[in-house]
A and B are shown apart, each in its own frame.
Chain A
């Protein structure tokens, strides 16, 4: 019986996207799910796996009440588990890579004001992981990109799978 996310019939698939928060939220089930999806892909390489990071995932806290909105570090108590999640996610990527080769893309999907901050954090965590030899299995270095969102009403702001960010930011918050 074919699973729901059986992609064996899709011949033009180039990218699989998921979110950092859902990888962490699904816990132990994540590697199994993503490995099972990857194992069904039959479209020719290359394949990109894009992991989307929001402000919270990179340890940033948006100060909506500031005009203009600013980003600052999360409280250390909250930041600790956020920081611990990075190496755990890299373990998941490594397990996924055993099933199928892909290029790892880390995407900062954040507000304009947090773009620099998020890119810096992503670069730092990739560097740390590379120094520890955790990314040796990759043929190419991970790509770090950003998809900035203007602090305005954007329909794509709310992200399926998470309640956070359900409402677009109101113009009055500018």
Chain B
């Protein structure tokens, strides 16, 4: 930023000196400096707000001048994704923890509102505390404004009992949590959800086959807060009825307004629990748990 400003001043000064050496106003009038940089910041932000989905234009705008850079940078760095090391990527640019480290060095992590940690579908790797070793935890802790967090294959038992040390900084801002194939007992997952007191939307996805014996670990864990959870619930290949029952009992019922359900074994429990609040239901005719409604199809 400073470099940009210094360059601007240098070139402006150079142009002024040239004009003076030529003897003031010459026959060819000097090009007038663009007034785009002197637009009120609110107007710049209004213009930029129309471009938030157009990354290329945003990038061009960010190079216009300092005020445009300031207006575009939160949109450009809103989303951050890191990949597992088993995913093929270009030059390792997105491999864990490179995006975190690079954004940390540039001071961009506070702009990140959506953070996603992805692993390969076939990878045996899980997201464990070892991934946050060394300086990585410092980078991870700089994500102070994340509203949407997605983690593939989180190993929740591995983070216990100091899970707050790793995820506590998400507490004030997190609204949407998406976990793919989370490892751990129902109570450990519930405890993790309860870490975030402002959570509205929840997404839990498992990959078939969903055969998993429920572990008895963490049976004494009690969620630290009761998140509102009144937004959208997305469940796919979900066979953890116990978790839903625990959520109902610890959170005093469920209040989701939207549900997106596919291959969920406790559909009725969920629909009954949200009977007073549910406004939108997304369902799929391909759902094997819908077969019960069809008299001419065999039971699952």
A residues with CB within 8 A of B: 2-7, 9-19, 22-23, 25-26, 29-30, 32-34, 36-37, 68, 112, 148, 150-156, 158, 160-161, 166-168, 170-172, 174
Contacts and interface: CB of A to CB of B under 8 A. Distances in A.
Contacts of B184: none
Given A9-B271, A155-B176, A160 B280 contact: no
B121 A5 contact: no
A167 B285 contact: no
B118 interface: yes
Contact of B116 (A7, A151, A166, A168): A168
B268 A2 contact: yes
26 contacts: A2-B268, A3-B293, A4-B289, A5-B271, A7-B281, A9-B275, A12-B279, A15-B279, A17-B280, A17-B281, A19-B284, A22-B284, A26-B284, A32-B294, A112-B53, A151-B55, A152-B79, A153-B81, A153-B114, A154-B79, A154-B114, A160-B205, A160-B234, A160-B260, A160-B263, A166-B121
Contact of A155 (B114, B236, B261): B114
B290 A5 contact: yes
A5 B283 contact: yes
A155 B205 CA distance: 11
The 3 A-B residue pairs with the shortest CB-CB distance, nearest first, are: A26-B285, A160-B262, A36-B293
Given A12-B276, A26-B286, A153-B80, 5 more contacts: A150-B55, A155-B150, A156-B234, A160-B235, A172-B89
B56 A170 contact: no
Interface string B43-59: 00000000011111000
B94 interface: yes
A112 B54 contact: yes
Contact of A33 (B260, B263, B293): B293
Nearest to A15: B280
B283 A18 contact: yes
Nearest to B294: A32
A161 B287 contact: yes
Interface residues of B, number: 56
B83 interface: yes
A150 B51 CA distance: 11
Contact of B286 (A5, A68, A153, A161): A161
A30 B268 CA distance: 20
B297 interface: yes
Given A22-B284, A22-B286, A168-B81, A5 B293 contact: yes
